[in-house]
Structure formats: structure tokens, C-alpha cells
A and B are shown apart, each in its own frame.
Chain A
Amino acid sequence: MSKFKFAMYWAGSCGGCEIALLEIQAKIIEVDQNYDVVFWPAAADFKYKDVEGYDDGYIDVCLFNGCIRNSENEHLANLLRAKSKVLVAFGACATMGGIPGLANLSSAQEIKDLVYTQTPSVDNPDKVYPQERFTVPEGELDLPHMYDTVKTLEQTVDVDYFMPGCPPEAHQIAGVLDVVTAALKGEGELPPKGATIGVAPKSCCDECERVKDEKKIAGFRRIWEFFPDREKCLLEQGVICMGPATAAGCGARCTSVGMACRGCYGPPEGVVDQGAKMLSTLASIIDAPDPDEIARIAATVPDPVGTFYRFGLASSLLRRARV
């Protein structure tokens, strides 16, 4: 029996998802037994034209990580959608926009201005910017067009499954691969289309071992400002922990080592906007009687958008700042 066809692609992202796949360790051998890699730029030498040559639906499963940041990402999203039977938005960037999604607070031009002219370490008196097209003696070169707005994979093409995490945890990846492989072999069933996979029910708090009590917060602190109690819920100690508004599945690894949850697993089922929900939660537990005091406490929230929408701005109800 021929092997199933596997693809993985890295759009607007850091590459962590690619490494995460290798975190499954010896299980990668099982993957090799079951799949032929037909496209995986980070690991094997394939060209886009190879993929363009495949029949539609040729790829059995494609793990697509990264957001849609530019025209190249978009082209590959469309291409891989057409060629794949099962397209998985893999990791926080593909599912929610991820950290690159915070670029939606600026326009593409603002970002270029900052990077190419305004950064203190840049010496660019002639204001030279990268060009999308440039003619050299050998011919014309081109670069992808950078969009103003970062999009999720689902905002670009039809997606079969969503697998959040920055990056997805190895045990969840292994579990998902088992399910997919079994289904392809006819030994099991795929989850319903559109499902979020590789997560656990409930919120991150469910997996967090810290002791939880009623929460009343008189001020927010960052982790370097004090020595948090090792046993107590971090939120109760004034550290903004996204746990209550984040899906479980990661095993609460961050909070177990004293780091607040950053929300990379996205909202739990039923929550439409993770950042707004967390804001609503925090507003509910601020313990102050008068508006001035509340304003003072609220002002201690560091970087509100970057905190509440660290991963989810592109998929939030707001999507982006006005350009």
C-alpha cells in the first residue's frame, strides 16, 4: 500500500511550529512509515512548481502554520487548499493571526518606515526601501507584496481543522496525527469539519495546579516586580494570566513554572473574542469602589492590546486598527 501524502508549510511565522513537529521525537518515524513528504520547505527541497504540478486533493494532510502576511503566503494558502484533502491551520498564527497579527495596529507603510528609516540602529539617509520589482541584467526580480492587514488562514481559504498553540504541544500533535492516520487508514473517524483539535475541554485553569480562590485585584504587577507565591493562582497575585480565557490542552506548562498564561491556545469553546473576554473578566475582579481608583488600577495594565490580544488580534472582533 502506498503511503499517504504529507505537507507542511510555513507562512507568516517564526518557525517554531516546524520545530514543534519534531518535538514528537521518535514518533516522527511513525510519520515516515505512514506518509511521504511531498512538500515541506523547512525540511526538504521542494519547489512551488512541484506543488502546482500535483492534482487537486493530492496531498492527504497539510499542516499550514503561519499567518497570511503577504501575497506569497496568500498564493500558497490557495495552492495548498486546492491540493490538500485535509488542511489544518496549525499553530496560533494560522488559527488566530498570532503575534504577527499585532502588526494590525499599524499599516504596512508604518512598519516599513520604522524598520528602514526610524530605528536608531539604521543608517539610511537616502531612504532606500525594498522594492517589489527590480530589474537586473539577468532579468526582473520580484518580492511578495506585503499587505496592510494580517489575516488568519481561515480568513483566506476554507480550513478543515484548527490546531492552536504557540507552538502546539508535542503530545497534542502526536495525538492529532494518530487520529488523522487512523482515519486515513479507515480505522477511525475524523472530527467534524471546522473543529478545533489538539485542545482539551474547559479553560487553562483546569490544567493549572495552582490553588484558586476568590479573586479581588487592587493592582496589576509583572512577574519581575516581585516573587510570586508558588502555590497560589497568579491572577490572584495581580499578574495578568490569560488562563481563564484560554483553552486548555497545553498542560498549563507556563503557570507551572511561574509564568502567566499568555493565551496562545486561543479562546475556549464558546468565547468569540478572547481579548474582550479577558478584559471583561479583569474588569469584573478589580476591587475598588470609586472610578478614580479603578482608573488607577486599570492604568497598571502593561500594554493592553499586546496582553489581551497577544495572539488573537487578527481574528478578534476588532481585527485591526483603522489605517
Chain B
Amino acid sequence: MAEEKIGVYICHCGTNIGGKVDVEEVTKWAATQPNVAVAREYKYMCSDPGQDLIKNDIKELGITRAVVAACSPTMHEPTFRKAASDGGLNPYLLQMANIREHCSWVTIDPVAATAKAKRILSAQIHRLPLNEPLEPIEVPVNHDVLVVGGGIAGIEAALKLSATGKHVTLVERNPSIGGHMAMFDKTFPTLDCAACILTPKMSALGKDPNITLMAYSEVEYVEGYVGNFTVKVRKKARYVNTDICTGCGACQEACVVRKVKSEFDQGLGFRSAIYIPFAQAVPLRATIDPAKCLTLSKGKCKQQTCVSACGPGAIDFEQKDEVVELDVGAIIMATGFELWDAAQETRYGYGRLDNVITSLEFERISNASGPTGGEIVCKNGEAPKSVVILHCVGSRDQNYQEFCSRVCCMYSLKFSHLIKEHLPETEVYELYIDMRCFGKNYEEFYRRLMDEGVNFVRGRAAEVTDVALSPDEEGRLVVKTEDTLLGIVRRIPADMVILSAGLSPAHDAKEVSQIFGFGCSANGFYLERHPKLEPVATVTDGIFIAGCCQYPKDIPDTVAQAGAAAAGVLGLVDNDTVKVEPTISYIDPEKCSGCHICVGLCPHNAIQYNEEKNAAEVIEAACKGCGVCVSACGSNVPQQRGYLDVQIFAEIEGALAV
């Protein structure tokens, strides 16, 4: 190994690192380490003057390797590698030593933090002489895009991309796009009719020649890498030929199975076994529910009324699921949320007490096209004289979801307004912990509702009961709560209790994220690459996220994120090529025994067996550098550039050398 001149650059990161680690001490120590030619410290190494230190040392001192002791490589490794490159050094001869996330942020004792910083730095100083210069690999980019999820986020992203001429495939799990927004009556705080602003977008998407809509379909399998994903989508059988179905709805009128609880109406209304989920559905096509259809579930529907009702003859009981393979350059995940299951909070009686309903059920009740035609009524058909809205059900609760679901305060205010609008004599109570009205015109909306005579009670409901203690409570619900402003315990009689349930990650968010190869945060929502600077990117290059699958958010934020994700995608698929990391695996055929272990394991199908050489081979363009083959091979034949065994062992030795 030739003598190397290592430059060491230690960042204070303001007080993020400097407040805990004795940076001066670490710098002095680093200067004494093997091969180190210069060790410098700086307040913010990522700033221009900080980066210039590296560039200048490359030019003036002739340093041949560099290590930046600062934040996580996922944060600024690209920044510093670019600086090295600008200075004339191969970027892969620069290493990051993470003394922030791995050290100063997680270590309490400053002495221990300083010692740990030295170890982390020492690991990199020991490995650096073994680093090899690498060149990025340039691969072609497929210009098409996949959007997963057809709620407002997915719709918005697809339309934005289509407007730039890109071809988009939108895959939606349900029979229609529209998502949760399509279920709402009004939107806060402007009280726009949700359908009025959403359906034009849905319809535009359905007609857009640049968009292929695959509703009632699910992504099963994804492989490939940035610019070159191959996706397998299962088109579930609708048992209706959608090419000839006109969406007239005659079949659902004719169907003999009419009492299926409507998912769209939250089970408050009914649909037939063959159904169009709602009048504005896109695509406006019928779907047969195979579990409910007598022909499909039992093999006996005497009349098959749908078949005779369908003019074009679109019904096809023989239809099978179809798996379609797509090639795309980038993917936007907009798979949304699920309402927190309010039945878990048994003391509120959801599922046990009539007229305790969830917020989404109230959305349907208040909706003019909903099961009650927009009449706000209790189960017995009478208008409630008193309605209590419980905030933070399942949210801000250490027993369930610790986080704030962000939209519940505002939609609860909207509910109050709708009730007051429909039923001015009805008393409305909002039981809140804090009112979180943070958006544009939100606080003003809150003020307006106070003027509308809504009773705001600060307190978290203890229980909802039907046990009456006074004649006034007889035959009604009673909400027990502490009013923390008055300092008293109250019993509020009510005819209807609305549980403002929080937003949860989709039940299968984790599995879906694994199919696409990125992860979820601790709270179960999709993990963004960086919470502030990369909120719509994921750790997988080329895969972006938008809307409530990332975290609960309101419609304006969702739409903004969808646009941001579309811009991120465009910045990628608008190019003909993309540079990918050269830190991929290689196999020396002279060492490979052809045992086949790695061949079946490569998640990217980047390894094939060459019979002639009796050896495995890496397809460079397909390898993503995940390292599976490296750890799987019993003979250490596959080696990953940038993560060679000798380099890793040198790091371990370095860490233990201090």
C-alpha cells in the first residue's frame, strides 16, 4: 500500500456536535494518526468555506484521501464527495465519519462522546488507504411513471406528470379512484364541496390519453432500480368486461343481492353484489363482489338478473385475474391512510352503543349523496338535539397512537358547522385537548365556529354511557368528561356522539413498503428520506411518496406534496440517463465454484449462472449493491466495491485501535 496523505475535516455542526464532542481535542488527536497529513475543524463543514478547506488541501497539500467527521452519510456524503470531486480527488476516496447521529446526539457524557468520536473517526482513517477510486455507472432511464394509489395525492401527481407529456400508469386497489376525499361532503376551512373540486380531476384523469388507469388492481412485485423498474400488477377480476360496460348501473338495480354493506358509505348504506361504488366513480364501471355474488360464491343464482339487465352483455363470470408487467423509470407511492379503528377504545362504546359514530361515518351522513341524503339524523331517523364530538380518539394517546393526526381538530370544526347549518337548534359540544388550527385561515374558522354557538369543552372524554342518572339523560347517550377549564366533572347528554378518530397507516403499509424496498417510520407511515429536506423521497432512488401514506395531512398539504413528488420524478425521468452508485458487487470467475447460492438470492435478478465458466456473473446494470450475495457466498467471492472485506475489517480494527 502506497503512502497516503489523509485530510481529516471535523465539523462542529454548530452545537450539534461541538456542544458535546470536544472537537479541538479530536482534531489534535487526529493529526497524530497514521497517514494523516492534515486535520482541521470548522463550525459548519458543509458550508462553502468548509468545503473549500477540502478542495484547497487537495490542490495545495496534495492530500490523496479525505474523511469528513460530521453528520450521517445519508445527509451530506453527496455534498462532500462533490467537493472532493471538484477539488480533483476521486469522490470515492472520501469517507464520512458520522459523529452526529451516531455520537453527539445519542451520547450524554461529553467525555464519552469525545472518546467515541475518536473511535468512529479512527475506523475511517484505517479504512481510507484501502479505498479504491470508483466511477459512477450511467444507465438509461425509462420515461414512464407508476403512481400507486388513486386518492387526491395520486390523482394530482398523475395529472401533473401527464401535463408534461410523461406517460403515467395509476394503480388503485379499489374499483374507483377518489380515495377518502370522494367520501367527504365539505372541505375545511373553505367549505368547498369536496365532490365539486375532486370529481373534475377524477374525470380528467379518466380521460387523459397519457394516463393508463388500472383500478381494482394491486402491485405485487417490484424489481429494478432508479430509472429502470419492472413492476407486476395484478388486475383483479371484476367479472365485467370493462371495455363494453357503459356504467349505466342497470345491473346493480337488477341484482337480487341488494343488502351488501357499502364500503363507500362506511357500512351505513347498501349496495348490490354487482355495483358501482358511487355515482361519480372513475372508471364508471361495474364490479362483481365475488364473495357476495350468488353465481360466483355459491354457483347458484337462478335468474342471473344482471346478465339479462346488461344491454351490452358485459358480464363475464369466467374472467380471471390478470398479471400485467410494466416498465417504469420512477414510482410515486400515494397509498393513503386508514381511519383508526375506534372500536379499540371500548369506553367510548363504538360498535356497542347506537349513535356513537366515527368521523368518516358522519362524513357520509352529512353528504348529500350519502345514505341519509345529507339529513343529519340518528339511527331512529330523528334529528339529534345534542351532538358531542370527541377529539383525539386514538391520537395523542400513549395507549394507541402517540402522534397528532393533524386533521381531526379541523374536520371536527367542520362537522360542528354542518350540524349548526342543518340543525340550528341542536347543541354541539367539542371535547378537545388543544385546538390545533395551524393552517391558512384555520384559526379564523375556529373563531367563526365559536361565534356560531358551538360549546368548546377542554377535556378528554372519560366515557360514553347509556346509563342515565337523571330524567334528562333517560334514553340518551351521556358523555362523561372533566372540563379542565372549569375544573368540574360534567355529564353531557347527547343523541349522537362523533368520534374524531385519528389517521392510521394502511394495515399493510409495512408489507407494501417492503415490496417497493423502502421502510416505514416507527409510527408505521412510510419513511421519507429526510424529514425536512427530502420529505417526498424515499431511501430507494426513484421512489417517491406523497399524501397521508407519509404522515397525516390535510388536502392542501397533500396536493402540495403530490406536486413535489411529481417534480422529483420529473427531475429524474426527464433525463435520458441517470448515474448510479458504482458500489456494486463483482464476481471473479477464477474463484467462483458455481455452487448457485447467490443466484437464487439476488433480489434484483442481477446474478446469472454462466455454464461455460461454471461461475456466477453479476449484471452490472441490474446490481443495486445491496450486498446479499456478499454475505451469502461461503467463499467470499462476490465482493462489493466500496465495502470490500478488507475495508470493513480495517474499519473494525480502526474502531478498536483507539
Interface residues of A (CB under 8 A from B): 201-206, 212-216, 233, 235, 242-246, 248, 268-272, 277-278, 280-281, 283-285
Mark interface residues in B91-115 (1 if CB within 8 Å of A CB, else 0): 0000000000000000000000000
Question: Could you write out 29 A-B pairs with CB less than 8 Å apart?
Answer: A201-B591, A202-B593, A202-B635, A204-B593, A206-B614, A212-B596, A213-B596, A214-B596, A215-B596, A233-B595, A243-B595, A243-B634, A244-B593, A244-B595, A244-B634, A244-B635, A268-B636, A270-B635, A270-B637, A270-B645, A271-B635, A271-B636, A272-B645, A280-B632, A281-B632, A281-B633, A284-B597, A284-B628, A285-B601
- Interface check B351, CB cutoff 8 A: no
Other-chain residue from A203, A216, A233 in contact with B634 (beta carbon distance below 8 A) = A203
Q: How far is B600's CA from A213's CA once the two chains are assembled, in angstroms?
A: 9
- Interface check B599, CB cutoff 8 A: yes
**Closest residue on chain A to residue B639 by CB atoms:** A270
Leading 4 A-B pairs by shortest Cβ distance:
A244-B634, A214-B600, A245-B634, A284-B632
Interfacial chain A residues near B594, Cβ < 8 Å: 205-206, 212
Interfacial chain A residues near B614, Cβ < 8 Å: 206
Q: Are B592 and A272 in contact (CB under 8 A)?
A: no
- Interface check B649, CB cutoff 8 A: yes
* Closest Cβ–Cβ distance, residue A36 to chain B (whole Å): 40
* Closest Cβ–Cβ distance, residue A199 to chain B (whole Å): 12
- Interface check B318, CB cutoff 8 A: no
**Chain B binding surface SS class:** loop
* Closest Cβ–Cβ distance, residue B618 to chain A (whole Å): 16
**Closest residue on chain B to residue A202 by CB atoms:** B593
* Closest Cβ–Cβ distance, residue B397 to chain A (whole Å): 28
* CB-contacts of B550-596 with A (<8 A): 590-596
Interfacial chain B residues near A213, Cβ < 8 Å: 596
- What number of B residues sit within 8 Å (CB to CB) of A? 22
Interfacial chain B residues near A235, Cβ < 8 Å: 595
Interfacial chain B residues near A277, Cβ < 8 Å: 634-636
- Interface check B295, CB cutoff 8 A: no
* Closest Cβ–Cβ distance, residue B307 to chain A (whole Å): 41
**Chain A binding surface SS class:** mixed
Q: Are B597 and A215 in contact (CB under 8 A)?
A: yes
Q: How far is B595's CA from A204's CA once the two chains are assembled, in angstroms?
A: 9
- Interface check B319, CB cutoff 8 A: no
The answer to whether residues A215 and B600 also contact, given A277-B634, A281-B634 and a CB cut-off of 8 A, is yes
Q: How far is B632's CA from A220's CA once the two chains are assembled, in angstroms?
A: 17
Q: Other than the known A206-B594, A214-B599, A284-B597, what 13 A-B pairs have Cβ atoms closer than 8 Å?
A: A201-B591, A203-B593, A213-B596, A233-B595, A244-B593, A245-B635, A268-B635, A268-B636, A269-B591, A271-B634, A277-B635, A283-B631, A284-B628
Interfacial chain B residues near A248, Cβ < 8 Å: 593
Chain A CB within 10 Å, residue with most, of B595, B632, B634, B649: B634
Q: How far is B567's CA from A97's CA once the two chains are assembled, in angstroms?
A: 61
Chain A CB within 10 Å, residue with most, of B592, B596, B599, B637: B596
Q: How far is B590's CA from A289's CA once the two chains are assembled, in angstroms?
A: 34
The answer to whether residues A270 and B636 also contact, given A205-B593, A215-B597, A285-B597 and a CB cut-off of 8 A, is yes
**Closest residue on chain B to residue A213 by CB atoms:** B596
Interfacial chain A residues near B649, Cβ < 8 Å: 272
* Closest Cβ–Cβ distance, residue A51 to chain B (whole Å): 38
Q: Are A203 and B597 in contact (CB under 8 A)?
A: no
Q: How far is B635's CA from A270's CA once the two chains are assembled, in angstroms?
A: 7
Q: Are A281 and B600 in contact (CB under 8 A)?
A: no
* Closest Cβ–Cβ distance, residue A240 to chain B (whole Å): 11
Q: How far is B597's CA from A155's CA once the two chains are assembled, in angstroms?
A: 33
**Closest residue on chain B to residue A246 by CB atoms:** B634
Interfacial chain A residues near B601, Cβ < 8 Å: 284-285
Q: How far is B637's CA from A248's CA once the two chains are assembled, in angstroms?
A: 14
Interfacial chain B residues near A202, Cβ < 8 Å: 591-593, 635
Interfacial chain B residues near A204, Cβ < 8 Å: 593
Q: How far is B649's CA from A245's CA once the two chains are assembled, in angstroms?
A: 19
Q: How far is B597's CA from A178's CA once the two chains are assembled, in angstroms?
A: 36
**Closest residue on chain B to residue A245 by CB atoms:** B634
Q: How far is B358's CA from A92's CA once the two chains are assembled, in angstroms?
A: 71
* Closest Cβ–Cβ distance, residue A231 to chain B (whole Å): 14
Q: How far is B217's CA from A71's CA once the two chains are assembled, in angstroms?
A: 73
Interfacial chain B residues near A243, Cβ < 8 Å: 595, 634
Q: How far is B593's CA from A242's CA once the two chains are assembled, in angstroms?
A: 13
Interfacial chain A residues near B592, Cβ < 8 Å: 202
* Closest Cβ–Cβ distance, residue B609 to chain A (whole Å): 9
Q: Are B632 and A206 in contact (CB under 8 A)?
A: no
* CB-contacts of B603-635 with A (<8 A): 614, 628, 631-635
Q: How far is B591's CA from A176's CA once the two chains are assembled, in angstroms?
A: 22
Interfacial chain B residues near A269, Cβ < 8 Å: 591
Q: How far is B633's CA from A202's CA once the two chains are assembled, in angstroms?
A: 12
Q: How far is B332's CA from A154's CA once the two chains are assembled, in angstroms?
A: 57
Interfacial chain B residues near A285, Cβ < 8 Å: 597, 600-601, 632
Q: How far is B592's CA from A6's CA once the two chains are assembled, in angstroms?
A: 37
Q: How far is B7's CA from A90's CA once the two chains are assembled, in angstroms?
A: 46
Q: How far is B633's CA from A215's CA once the two chains are assembled, in angstroms?
A: 12
Q: How far is B631's CA from A277's CA once the two chains are assembled, in angstroms?
A: 8
Interfacial chain B residues near A272, Cβ < 8 Å: 645, 649
